[in-house]
């Protein structure tokens, strides 16, 4: 878990540097090696690591727009993920998805920029596991800003009534872009939503990564043993802006200071040392994590850009062979509209 969390933090520190290249001084969001938005998850790492530690490759994970720490913990191929973020041809989705739309079928991982969107597919994966009589499970991660979305609430209901092996993990970082949690919901503890659907709910603080691990063990274990879904809310901290370039003028300085002062990675390291891990062990883990990140970024930067004409491959306007479509494709009509 520690190595995972350090990898995620360092990975995002490096992405920040790469992202800012060419975007200054006026912050041109389309410029530089990583065009578009970038949502970083510093302060969320314990949630991805603590939950995914209990998962296998055949378990499904859906994640939201802040996905890197979860993808890393689920074992998504770091090189191809990085190439995807850099928009390269050898990226997970040939560079067409970008950082919010990572998809790795080898480890059953997907994420989406539409909030709460991952909940119904996770329920679908849970239903498939039940019908196929396997013991795989599905986990849907979402932010606290999505807990009033219909897609989430309907998913809780279906998972509960069908007794599906699904765990819903709400990452509560107290903010939804510029909206503080208490302005968008009257529920202080998102896990209370579980009661209304007849499933167990628990809330845990990510300051203590081991506590997340323990709570997730129970929730994933319940799903794997065919005892139904669980809603787990994890209190995390948003150490960064909502996206890179967010000036955070709406955010009180003390709120940001508090988030920066509570680091689950530092705490896990102290716990680790208290259990006799020495400097060498910690340094080795950190070095290994850093090397892996550098290798992935170097590899991604060497990858080719996609050819412009490939834009019509693998998308609905020009379906792959075998997929029928009665409408002429944009490629065929010249795309007037
Ligand atoms: C259905 C939908 N509505 C609105 C948006 C715009 N949007 C992007 S992120 C976001 C807030 C998300 O907050 P939260 O779920 O708490 O996640 P966080 O960014 O804090 O990790 C919103 C409203 C969206 N992506 N999808
Ligand atoms: Mg949030």
Distance CA 212, CA 14 (A): 26
Ligand 1 contact via 100 beta carbon (within 6 Å): no
Question: How many Å lie between the centroid of ligand 2 and the Cα of residue 237?
Answer: 9
Ligand 1 contact via 319 beta carbon (within 6 Å): no
Best of 177, 178, 185, 240 for a ligand 1 pocket test (most atoms within 8 Å of beta carbon): 177
Ligand 1 contact via 148 beta carbon (within 6 Å): no
Ligand 1 contact via 146 beta carbon (within 6 Å): yes
Lowest-pLDDT choice from 169-173, 182-186, 286-290: 182-186
**Greatest alpha-carbon span in the chain:** 67
- Taking CA atoms only, the protein residue closest to ligand 1 atom 21 is 143
pLDDT at 336: 46
Lowest-pLDDT choice from 33-37, 82-86, 164-168: 33-37
pLDDT at 165: 98
- pLDDT tens-digit map of 198-244: 999 999 999 999 999 999 999 999 999 999 999 999 999 999 999 99
pLDDT at 337: 43
Question: How many Å lie between the centroid of ligand 1 and the Cα of residue 66?
Answer: 10
Question: How many Å lie between the centroid of ligand 1 and the Cα of residue 336?
Answer: 32
């Amino acid at each position: 878990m520690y190595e995972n969390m350090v990898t995620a933090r360092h990975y995002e520190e490096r992405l920040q540097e790469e992202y800012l290249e060419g975007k200054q001084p006026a912050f041109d969001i389309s410029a530089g090696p990583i065009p578009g938005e970038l949502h970083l998850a510093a302060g969320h790492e314990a949630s991805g690591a603590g939950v995914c530690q209990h998962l296998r490759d055949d378990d499904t994970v859906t994640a939201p727009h802040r996905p890197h720490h979860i993808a890393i913990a689920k074992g998504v191929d770091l090189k191809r993920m990085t190439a995807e973020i850099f928009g390269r041809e050898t990226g997970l989705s040939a560079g067409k998805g970008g950082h919010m739309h990572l998809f790795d079928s080898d480890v059953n991982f997907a994420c989406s920029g539409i909030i709460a969107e991952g909940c119904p597919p996770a329920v679908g994966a849970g239903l498939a596991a039940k019908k196929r009589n396997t013991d795989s499970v599905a986990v849907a991660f979402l932010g606290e800003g999505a807990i009033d979305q219909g897609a989430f609430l309907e998913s809780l209901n279906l998972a509960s009534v069908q007794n599906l092996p699904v765990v819903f993990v709400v990452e509560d970082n107290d903010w939804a872009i510029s909206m503080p949690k208490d302005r968008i919901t009257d529920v202080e503890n998102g896990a209370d939503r579980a009661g209304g659907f007849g499933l167990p709910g628990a809330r845990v603080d990510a300051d203590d990564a081991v506590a997340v691990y323990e709570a997730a063990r129970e929730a994933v274990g319940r799903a794997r043993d065919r005892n139904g879904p669980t809603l787990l809310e994890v209190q995390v901290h948003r150490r960064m802006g909502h996206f890179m370039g967010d000036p955070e003028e709406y955010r009180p300085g003390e709120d940001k200071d508090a988030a920066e002062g509570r680091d689950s990675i530092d705490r896990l390291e102290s716990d680790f040392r208290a259990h006799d891990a020495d400097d060498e062990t910690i340094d080795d883990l950190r070095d290994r994590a850093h090397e892996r990140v550098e290798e992935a970024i170097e590899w991604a930067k060497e990858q080719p850009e996609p050819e412009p004409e490939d834009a019509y491959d693998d998308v609905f306007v020009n379906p792959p062979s075998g997929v029928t479509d009665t409408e002429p494709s944009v490629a065929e009509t010249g795309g007037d509209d």
